[in-house]
Chains A and B, each alone.
Chain A
Amino acid sequence: MDQAIDIEGAVKRYGTVTALHGVSLSIADNEFFTLLGPSGCGKTTLLRMIAGFEDITAGEIRLFGQNIARLEPNQRPVNTVFQQYALFPHMTVIENVGFGLKMKGFDATQRKARAGQMLEMVHLSDYADRRPSQLSGGQQQRVALARALAPEPKVLLLDEPLSALDLKLRQAMRVELKQLQEDTGITFIFVTHDQEEALTMSDRIAVMSSGRVQQIGTARDIYETPVNRFVADFIGETNLLEVTVSKADGDTAEVILPGGHHLICPAAGARLGQQHLSIRPERLRLAHGAGQLSATVQRVVYLGTDLHVMLVLEGGTQLVARLQNSRQLSAPEAGAHVFLDLDDGAARLLAD
């Protein structure tokens, strides 16, 4: 079966600056796919290329097998939800939602029925005859969604659509968006720099940085098995340590931490020498008696559900542990000497 979107070696150059260095990825039909990365990583450029707002310097973009890379935006059966919504200010809400249908040649009756149906879906039926400027940010957002979904695109593109909303609304919209995607069965491609957004909604995530895809996988994949230093550092919090790999055989490697601690970690085909090691703060535990690492507590930050414990290993390496706040937990005090244990597989060697 054809993928919804197949991107092959997409390159974008602006003069001498290269924004995308040959990106290739496939997105399955009915998938909620997220392009995640810091600003300037090329995620928006890639999305705009799929929409047709940016020319492609080299490469191919196929939509269900058809190469669309050089079609005009109005010839591509994809629709976009813009970051600032871009609702037409001189039209009413229902005219906005019906615009795509009008351009596709639907008559007034069909348009009204379909646009009304879309407004019902986003719970805005009562606002059909208002102007966009008379709606709140969250309502405008939903009109933008209805407008983009009304012509039944094969793929819906969303360019940081939640970034203009306040936190509460943003969290509610995440659930709504995911629900909408499941209900409509349309492939969503979602661009964001917010990892929490990406992790909560996406079927799969492509982590991008400096014009390249760093890793593609489920939320769990990219969080728990980051392939390189960038991904480990960008997604969630992590302790990044410079270590020396002293032994590597088969699936495990022995590493030496700066303070002289030894750790065994899973690493298929690790090379010897200097490398980076990632340990997630929540995978560190306080050990009773002896443990794998010994450290001194510098400071404890109370965060309600969690405690952030800042530690210094023997040898000066700084480390953060995140302990779940529970009745059983006896919080360590600053200056105390403690032992730490790692969950199995918590320490991961990273490529640069």
Chain B
Amino acid sequence: MKGVRHYPGFLSITLLCLVVLYGPLLVVTAYSFNGSTSITQWGGFSLRWYIDVFTGPEAPRFRSAAWNSLTIAIMAAISATMIATAAALAMMRAGRFRGKSLTFALINLPLMVPEIVTAVATLIFFSMIGLTTGYLTILLAHITFCIPFAYLPIAARLQGIDDSYEQAARDLYASRTQSFFLILLPLMAPGVISGFLLAFIISLDDFIITNFVKGAGMETLPTAIFGSVKLGIKPNIMAISTLMLGVSVLFVTLSYLINRKGRQSP
């Protein structure tokens, strides 16, 4: 059998995809180390724009936005992971119940609803119940849309765990709670951690929904970057973008490694 490399056009299509997908990222990363004030002309290697992010005129704005992004992402990811874990347990372990397929659809539907629709609907909902937009509304919205992302790896992991482990624990005199915390949760852990990391990343870089429900004066990192770009792209934007890219890559890699390690054990 011929390998995929021998198909006609393999090389050109691969190169095209790589360039379209990763070319812009490479350019932004490279130019974040640019010494000049121009965003197109190379002026030698320098860390000045990274220093500018932390100490420049926009630094206080970025710092408070980054703090908001980070705390919201952590809280949203924790809450979404707990809810997703409970949902996965109900779907995979509670046997058959009325409305199971409906529940499955409801859990995963947010992945398919256009984000702009969710954003508008969430904003209208908050204003209808009289909730002032701000930190809390961003957090609530993030928890909600993070649930399906956290659910996917958790449910996938749980599906691969034979229920005889919990039965063995119950058989050996463990209560339901003990069997969950001593046996099932450790076995699910790789999926739960993956789910958490995925939810964290999704929350960290969300722009559309956040922009709708954040209210005046409240910024997360993506909305702060967008606000800054509206006044013209400066090289410090490339530096901060590269930092965010680094965080995302780190988390996705962690999630992958944890999942791979988990697959090896049971």
Q: Is the CB of A151 within 8 A of B172?
A: yes
Interface residues of B in 135-169 (CB under 8 A from A): 162, 164-165, 167-169
9 closest A-B pairs (Cβ-Cβ)? A100-B172, A89-B266, A103-B173, A86-B164, A86-B168, A73-B170, A74-B173, A90-B186, A103-B174
CB proximity to B under 8 Å, residues A58-109: 72-74, 78-80, 82-84, 86-90, 99-100, 103-104
Q: Contact between A86 and B172 (Cβ–Cβ < 8 Å)? A: no
Chain B residues lying within 8 Å of A100, measured Cβ to Cβ, are 172-173
B12 at the interface (CB under 8 A from A): no
Question: Interface size class for chain A?
Answer: 20 to 34
Chain A positions within 8 Å of B164 at CB level: 82-84, 86
**Residues of chain B in range 156-199 having any CB-CB distance to chain A below 8 Å:** 162, 164-165, 167-175, 178, 183, 186-187
In the bound assembly, the distance between CA atoms of A51 and B168 in angstroms comes to 10
Q: Is the interface of B mostly helix, strand, loop or mixed?
A: helix
Residues of A within 8 A of B183 (CB): 88
CB of A302 closer than 8 Å to a CB of B: no
Indicate if the CB atoms of B173 and A104 lie closer than 8 Å: yes
In chain A, positions 40-65 with a C-beta closer than 8 Å to chain B are 51-53
Given A86-B164, A103-B178; A79-B171 close (CB under 8 Å): yes
B165 touching A73, Cβ below 8 Å: no
Q: Hey, which bits of chain B sit against chain A, CB under 8 A?
A: 162, 164-165, 167-175, 178, 183, 186-187, 265-266
A90, B265: Cβ atoms under 8 Å? yes
Q: Does A147 contact B (CB under 8 A)?
A: yes
Q: Is the CB of B165 within 8 A of A74?
A: no
Q: Does A133 contact B (CB under 8 A)?
A: yes
Taking a contact as CB atoms under 8 Å apart, the answer to whether A82 and B178 are in contact is no
Residues B168 and A82 in contact, CB atoms below 8 Å apart: yes
Q: Provide the bound-state CA to CA distance between A78 and B170, in Å.
A: 11
Q: What residue in chain A is nearest B264 (Cβ atoms)?
A: A133
8 contacts between A and B (CB under 8 A): A52-B171, A79-B172, A80-B168, A82-B167, A83-B164, A99-B169, A100-B172, A147-B172
B172: nearest chain-A partner, CB-CB = A100
Give the distance to chain A from B76, nearest Cβ to Cβ, in Å.
29
Given contacts A82-B167, A90-B187, whether A99 and B172 have CB atoms under 8 Å apart is yes
Q: Once the chains are docked, how many angstroms separate the CA of A269 from the CA of B167?
A: 48
Interface centre among A82, A86, A131 (most CB of B within 10 A): A86
User: For residue A79, which residues in chain B have a CB less than 8 angstroms away from its CB?
Assistant: 171-172
Interchain nearest-CB distance for A133 vs B (Å) = 7
Is there contact, CB below 8 Å, between B162 and A72? Answer: no
Instruction: Collect the chain A residues with CB atoms within 8 Å of residue B165's CB.
Output: 86, 88
* B172 with A103: CB separation less than 8 A: yes
Q: How far is the CA of A187 from the CA of B167 in the complex (A)?
A: 21
Shortest distance from the beta carbon of B158 to any chain A beta carbon, whole Å: 15
Contact A151 B167 (CB under 8 A): no
Residues of A within 8 A of B172 (CB): 74, 79, 99-100, 103, 147-148, 151
